[in-house]
Structure 1
Amino acid sequence: MTYTQLLNETITLYCEEKYLEAYSFLTENYKEVQGNMAQIYNFRYAIASKAGLYEEAIKLMKEAILEKGHWYSYSYLQGDEDLDALRSHELFHQLCDICKKREELAVKQSLPQLKLVEPSHQQKAYPLVIGLHGNEENMAIAEYYWKNFKEKGYLLALPQSSEIKFDGGYYWNDIEKGYKELGSHYTTIVENFKVQQENVILGGFSSGARVSLYFALHSKVKIKGLILIAPWLPEIEQWLPLLGRLKETKVYIVCGEDDVDCLSETEALVKALEQTQIDYIYEKVAHLGHDFPIDFNTYIEKILTFTRESTCSPHI
């Protein structure tokens, strides 16, 4: 089970109003995944409160904030209906005040981050893969999915947005800011590493895929391969006239057939790529929601083979 799958299945149970079952499922399984513990604590105490486990909920909040040092958005803590039952507890308001101070400091200090992972074998010049996290995620979570490109000899770059919303939770909500940060990261990479600038693959998950597509459409950087995983594309209709700019880019798209948030916009993009005669591959994955495929590593060789080909017939 992946971190995203754990959260998605918990949310499914929550939406079915199976609050006790959702809390039990998350509590029994969270230690088996690699992810943002601040987010897991948040899910646990919020769902415990919703399930009527009020003392357990306030205990988890205390543990998360006082013992582990996490923090959460003050406006979220004040406005989330799941926490209404805790508002009569004096400790709840003390914890909110602590979070408010931590949030103000974190937002003030937050800067774009970049992690670079070199392949095991030294090369004269590296092919490059850039992998962007989704909203509420970070570069450590992204590394879990993109790390196997390193084994294929690629320099792996993992940008982290400067938009922080809670401890360890970053967003790409400001598309122009994300575009500029990604451009700055690319400049940093090519100034410090010998990169095969004709062999650059850019990809992302969800909102990270949105920034990746926007960058490919607007930047002068030559993008050989574009990987869009569960792409969140609210402005896709506005971007369709720009797709001709991808004539020299191979586009590889993966989306779950159960991804209610992204499937329709993804298929609008696929249809437009077909009409614009852009080389693409579209993988619609059965029984998958808003997540990476559980066997994403098996896709990597297909992605690399596709980007190396001179021509390719699109297929679904």
Structure 2
Amino acid sequence: MAPLGFRGLQERVKRLSDQQRHAEAYSLITEEGPRFPDDASDVYYLRSCAAARMGRADLAVTLIREALARGYWYGEVLLRRSPSWGTLQGTAGFEDVARESLARQRAASAAAHCSVVGEDAGPEPYRAVIALHGNGGGARECLHGWREVVREGRLLAAVQSSQWIARDRAVWDDEDEALRDVREQYATLTAEYELDVDHLIIAGFSMGAETALRMALGGTVPARGFVLLGMAGPRTGDPASWLPVMEKQRRSGLPLRGYLMVGANDDDGVRCEKMRRLAEFLTSHGIPCGLEVLPGLGHEYPTDPLPNIRRALAFIRSDDPGHRTPPDT
């Protein structure tokens, strides 16, 4: 049997937990977790959750303390809303580590900023892509996921949400905070770099994709195009819910084109149909939108994104009316 990737390991641990087999879940993540040093924060979290479910509050708190000692931390959402840690709330040991963890979260939120690569992508003004990570991700992962835009002569700037759930992991759930983060970091970016707003693109993955679409339609970022991968969120399956913000974009008179990409296996294929309906809806309301279904891909970044990126950028650049029908490749 091929070794499990970390996502597969997480799924096995969750299945065991759902079956109330918490001791087995703890043994599995403890034995297999060291194979994934880049996911050590999540390994500590899963081990602590399993320990708490086993009734080992002391061990659960010890594991959080070990994670803190290694530089990791957990945000308020996990600390206060994780069902596994529910029995720890109010206990002296847990509240002690929670205070330290929340202090680190506050410091990280205050320091959230854009990460930029591709300063040598060409002369200023730069043709830029502003990218938003998915829920549970961060700017570093985002830069890797959209890295190929730099090879296409673009500056790449990854916006970091300040809604942290753990070190290097944040969400976009609060729309007002998301709006503030994108607006402030875009202002900082434009103060440091001259951008070609006629070729500005905003991109995003998962909940970051839904947030990116909201920012493009609402004019938070004066984008002329958007590229959305595996879009997920409360509005994803309801295209009509975008009408109010689409009206704002229409009144601006600025041209806007978009390109949606979705894995064929994402959400067992359900997300493909949602993306198809959204692409058709946007196109019918004057925002030409392409669609590309990526074979064999789930809810993740493609391993070789360059061909997809090239097609997306070509579609957004194109004024050919023949591109107005979403291509399903």
TM-score bracket, normalised by the shorter chain, equals 0.7 to 0.9
Instruction: Select which of 264, 269, 281 maps to 2:278.
Output: 269
Shift of 1:248: 2.3
Contact persistence 2:148–2:305 (CA under 8 A): no
- Alignment-derived partner of residue 74 in structure 2: 72
Q: Deviations over 1:91-124 (max 9, x none)?
A: x953552232330453266234112223335513
Shift of 1:54: 9.6
- Select between 121-130 and 37-46 the one with higher mean Cα deviation: 37-46
Contact persistence 1:115–1:139 (CA under 8 A): yes
Contact persistence 1:135–1:169 (CA under 8 A): yes
Q: Deviations over 1:192-216 (max 9, x none)?
A: 2222110111011112112111111
- Alignment-derived partner of residue 171 in structure 2: 171
Change (3 A) 1:242 1:25: farther
Q: Deviations over 1:145-184 (max 9, x none)?
A: 1222222221111111122222332221121221232123
Unmatched 5+ stretches in structure 2: 18-23
5 Å-filtered alignment, 1:213-228, equals 213-219=213-219, 221-228=221-228
Change (3 A) 1:135 1:121: closer
5 Å-filtered alignment, 1:91-240, equals 94=93, 96-104=95-103, 106-107=105-106, 110-111=109-110, 112-219=112-219, 221-235=221-235, 236=238, 237-240=240-243
Change (3 A) 1:276 1:156: same
- Alignment-derived partner of residue 44 in structure 2: 41
- Select between 56-65 and 179-188 the one with higher mean Cα deviation: 56-65
Q: CA separation in 2, counterparts of 1:220 and 1:141? A: 23
Change (3 A) 1:220 1:288: closer
Q: CA separation in 2, counterparts of 1:73 and 1:225? A: 33
- Select between 280-289 and 52-61 the one with higher mean Cα deviation: 52-61
- Select between 142-151 and 117-126 the one with higher mean Cα deviation: 117-126
- Alignment-derived partner of residue 33 in structure 2: 27
Change (3 A) 1:102 1:286: same
Shift of 1:37: 3.9
Unmatched 5+ stretches in structure 1: none
Change (3 A) 1:25 1:277: farther
- Alignment-derived partner of residue 21 in structure 2: none
- Give the alignment's Cα RMSD to 1 decimal: 3.5
Contact persistence 2:282–2:288 (CA under 8 A): yes
Contact persistence 1:179–1:214 (CA under 8 A): no
TM-score, with structure 1 as normaliser: 0.79
SS for the counterpart of 2:114 is: strand
Shift of 1:275: 2.8
Change (3 A) 1:37 1:113: farther
Which structure features the higher share of strand residues?
1
Q: Deviations over 1:33-69 (max 9, x none)?
A: x5x642343234435766999998776544312x303
> What percent identity do the matched residue pairs reach?
22
- Alignment-derived partner of residue 20 in structure 2: none
Q: CA separation in 2, counterparts of 1:256 and 1:81? A: 30
Contact persistence 1:11–1:22 (CA under 8 A): no
Shift of 1:129: 0.7
Q: CA separation in 1, counterparts of 2:168 and 2:316? A: 33
- Select between 117-126 and 169-178 the one with higher mean Cα deviation: 117-126
Contact persistence 2:61–2:94 (CA under 8 A): no
TM-score, with structure 2 as normaliser: 0.76
Tell me which amino acid in the other structure corresponds to 1:113.
Answer: H
Contact persistence 1:114–1:160 (CA under 8 A): yes
- Alignment-derived partner of residue 264 in structure 2: 257
Contact persistence 1:72–1:103 (CA under 8 A): yes
Q: CA separation in 2, counterparts of 1:286 and 1:189? A: 35
Q: CA separation in 1, counterparts of 2:81 and 2:194? A: 49
Q: CA separation in 2, counterparts of 1:218 and 1:15? A: 38
Number of equivalent positions: 304
- Select between 232-241 and 255-264 the one with higher mean Cα deviation: 255-264
SS for the counterpart of 1:110 is: helix
Shift of 1:227: 0.9
Contact persistence 1:124–1:194 (CA under 8 A): yes
